[in-house]
Structure 1
């Protein structure tokens, strides 16, 4: 027994199906089912929820989610070698696991999910940030998802929860914290994975807010923060001068000194600046 169900241990599954991790797919398998069960628990009460999982690989987190009582798990897997192992999990949990073969960046799983659903994944390192940005920028808010419980490189996780004044603070922190509550809920060393990556990892949970933390036009806020942080060492009066001819007046009106730099400005003031500049777009 593997501890959480009657299926074989993951090392045995990998050996049976020849699932050596592929660097090109960003694969680092988490084989300890106690850890995958802990990640599943970090996603909250799943008994009345559908869950979207990206990159299940041999199915360690998939099994954790199902054993935790997830109503229905929809897993998107790009590597066809993993499909037989996932089919064995589906047979052990009849009617509760749907596996979609494909690229998560190009696969629409929403037809299989009943909102509000949750997203939980040990994200492939090479697509993790792009997927997060997509989930945080849907056409309308609130989104179809209720929470995200996601594994990232620790450096990326720290960027998501960073506060003003820190080196990690930037566009990703602003985007995440504008529309969600974000916290690191678990850290994992390289040795927890097979093969061990060169960096540590962390699990971040983001809970969608019913509305953004401060009012602002999304496109304007994105444009301001992109411009500011693309030249983060410059004073804002210089980095943002192309957004408005009298940018210093707008900065001062929302409590930002023209000599401040982007990393010093909190989300509330960036949103205030976006509101001022939105009519001039």
Structure 2
């Protein structure tokens, strides 16, 4: 295993500082980073996609775990530090300079992969929804291990009936399992963000039969887009939705946050024929 200098030393040597515009917050605690890299299980020889590696703190932990890492980074200031990591772990690290929101991840990876990332706060949710969307299932990714603001993480794993339950929870749970794997205190970061963070681990499950992902996205978008309104109001713009409610004996006076994930799937199945 290569003997690497402390992360703080690497960052100081390269004159790096976290960019607020890029949603960066650096983690220096290598023991914590090792625990994060262990969440997906044994990564030895596995392909891993990392978004926004920055100076490479989590990247180090993934490489030490034996992963073959493809890292997408748009901050050119961080590329020299990542290049040093690539030299320390020959053949294990590929760095792509670019915007993860504009790249085709499946094409980049060209094989099944895990996603492990301390996501930049400003694009984290959008990337997450992209990985969960689409008709092709199971997806090319084996698992998603992602750090979010704790509030967002709670929304992903939320259960029906509470204010946190919404479209993000349904998209994460209707054909996947999502769990809160670890909480990370704001003091672990440099600079410390204003909010607490948490890591969510998602694994794909079975695709419900007779259901279109596009319809699930349409129904949840409409229902939670006007979440304070009754379903008869929020879903009236979705063709056939009110008839589906009647057929399924779902009271149209209910609000979206009271429906179970299974009920959303049933509505989508009625509309997917």
Same fold (TM over 0.5): yes
Q: Structure 1 residue 112: deviation in Å? A: 4.8
Q: Structure 1 residue 213: deviation in Å? A: 4.5
Q: Is the 8 A contact 1:188 1:201 kept in 2?
A: yes
RMSD over equivalenced CA pairs, Å? 1.6
Provide the C-alpha distance between the structure 1 equivalents of 2:146 and 2:210, rounded to a whole number of angstroms. 26
Q: Is the 8 A contact 2:235 2:241 kept in 1?
A: no
1:193 and 2:189 are equivalent in the alignment: yes
1:262 and 2:256 are equivalent in the alignment: yes
Provide the C-alpha distance between the structure 2 equivalents of 1:89 and 1:160, rounded to a whole number of angstroms. 33
Provide the C-alpha distance between the structure 1 equivalents of 2:165 and 2:271, rounded to a whole number of angstroms. 23
Aligned pairs for 1:62-73 (under 5 A) are 62-70=59-67, 72-73=68-69
Q: Structure 1 residue 245: deviation in Å? A: 6.8
- SS at structure 2 position matched to 1:52: strand
Equivalent residue pairs, number? 273
Q: Is the 8 A contact 1:50 1:114 kept in 2?
A: no
Please list every run of at least 4 consecutive aligned residues from structure 1 whose deviation after the TM superposition is greater than 3 angstroms. 108-112
* Aligned pair partner of 2:74 in 74, 78, 83: 78
TM-score, normalised to structure 1, is 0.92
Q: Structure 1 residue 142: deviation in Å? A: 1.1
- SS at structure 1 position matched to 2:272: helix
Provide the C-alpha distance between the structure 2 equivalents of 1:113 and 1:164, rounded to a whole number of angstroms. 35
* Aligned pair partner of 1:276 in 255, 270, 273: 270
- Report what 1:123 is aligned to: 119
1:103 and 2:91 are equivalent in the alignment: no
Q: Is the 8 A contact 1:74 1:109 kept in 2?
A: no
Q: Structure 1 residue 224: deviation in Å? A: 1.2
Provide the C-alpha distance between the structure 1 equivalents of 2:86 and 2:238, rounded to a whole number of angstroms. 53
* Aligned pair partner of 2:246 in 252, 255, 259: 252
Structure 2 unaligned regions, length at least 5: none
* Aligned pair partner of 1:50 in 47, 51, 59: 47
